[in-house]
Amino acid sequence: MFQSAEIEARAGEVIQWTNNDPFAHIATVKGGWEVAIPPGKKATHVATADDSVYYYCRFHPGMKGRIKVAE
């Protein structure tokens, strides 16, 4: 699961995922961006004004999250 499942950020802030699993995950926005999160590693994404999105793991579709960008 993504923890926290819902986060709030401002445009320009860095969002960081830490993968503590032995399996790879990919934060995927349907029709948008993807961030690969290798096992035991961290990955980042810089929030933009358009990033009020729902995302999921492409490998594990039951893993879901939301990013809400504050105005």
pLDDT value, residue 71: 74
pTM (two decimals): 0.89
Q: What pLDDT, in 10s, does the model give residues 3-57?
A: 999 999 999 999 999 999 999 999 999 999 999 999 999 999 999 998 999 999 9
Joined together, the tokens standing for residue 69 give: 């960008």
As a whole number of angstroms, the distance between CA 38 and CA 31 comes to 22
Q: Domain extents for the chain?
A: 6-70
49 backbone φψ class: left, alpha, beta (φ>0; ψ -120 to 50): alpha
Q: Which fold has domain 6-70?
A: Immunoglobulin-like (2.60.40)
CB burial of residue 25 (10 Å; 0-12, 13-18, 19+): buried
